Structure 1
Amino acid sequence: MRPNLAALLCLPVICMPMAAQNATPAEAEALVKEAIAYAKTHGKDAACKEITRPDGSLRKHGGELYVFVNTMDGKNLAHGMGARFVGADQSKAKDPDGVEYMQERIKLAKTKGKGWHEYKYLNPKTGKKETKASYIEVWDGLIFGAGIYKK
């Protein structure tokens, strides 16, 4: 009985570093593919609702890794940081350095259909504007994406 108790007491020490790990590029790409699969199975509207839901299944790392969906003209259809972003026209959005990140995203979507781009954005975990690399993929005329904050 004592060895089991000792093993249980060690679990927090083992699991805490895993929980604190930053999201990886592979996780961002996998989450985008998961969101597209969800949309294919349940429909675009249901996917957008699931993506925007605060406790939705398409949020990882304590909300730091989430999905967003944009139209090809820069309108938000879904956003993992909450419903307040849905419907917003971000076609002219700039990061603190003046990078028109939505225009870069749209160009990438139209020319390659998928890929990575960088800009600065508010990290919901830290509350600070940090460099973010987002992976996007076009499905059915929409841009599905997820990003990681670079440390």
Structure 2
Amino acid sequence: MLTRFQKLWLASFLALGFLSMPASAAEYGSANEAKAMVQKAVDAMKKHGVDATVADINKRDGQYQDRDLYVVVYDMNGKNLAHLNPKMVGKEMLDLTDVDGKFFIRERIELVKAKGRAWQDYKFVNPTTKQIEPKSMYVEKFENVIVGCGIYQ
């Protein structure tokens, strides 16, 4: 059962106009491409700072988006700092669960605290199919933020 917040979150995610995203499997991003997007964002943070890079990610100019891939940034307390969906930005997400009840933001924080970088599996709405599907997100800690980019399985 989805909570009211989860329903609002999923509805706002779908409402962004993802209908124009590609549907063929060949046009989906790969695991290597997701890792490369995270590295691109981390490199920009090293060069220009976290705040400037987060602002660039939130501009939605395409630099941190490619097909179904997009970079997200969270602080170490679960607050969303950057997301393709502007309604997500600034929201506390620590208590967000997927459809199986998995606290995936909490898990993401623990993974980067323990390993610095990792792949994480959970379920999320695929913006192309509009269905809840298995997703793998590559996450990496930089300073006091978590930078991630995910793929649908």
TM-score normalised by the shorter chain: which range applies? 0.7 to 0.9
Are 2:49 and 1:49 equivalent residues in the alignment?
no
What's the TM-score, normalizing by structure 2? 0.80
Structure 1 counterpart SS, 2:87: helix
The structure showing larger relative contact order (alpha-carbon pairs under 8 Å, at least 6 residues apart) is: 2
Are 2:81 and 1:77 equivalent residues in the alignment?
yes
Larger Rg computed on CA atoms: 1
Please give the alpha-carbon distance, in whole angstroms, between the structure 1 residues aligned to 2:99 and 2:136.
15
What corresponds to 2:105 in structure 1? 102
Q: Percent identity?
A: 40
Are 2:25 and 1:30 equivalent residues in the alignment?
no
Q: Structure 1: 5+ residue runs without aligned partners?
A: 1-15
Q: CA RMSD in A?
A: 1.8
- Give the aligned residue type for 1:97: D
Flag the 1:118–1:19 CA change in 2: closer, same or farther, 3 A. closer
- Give the aligned residue type for 2:49: G
Superposition pairs of residues 58-73 of structure 1, within 5 angstroms: 58-61=64-67, 64-73=68-77
Please give the alpha-carbon distance, in whole angstroms, between the structure 2 residues aligned to 1:39 and 1:83.
20
Residue by residue over 1:97-118, the C-alpha shift from the partner in whole angstroms, topping out at 9 and shown as x without a partner, is: 1111011101101111101011
Q: Structure 2: 5+ residue runs without aligned partners?
A: 1-21
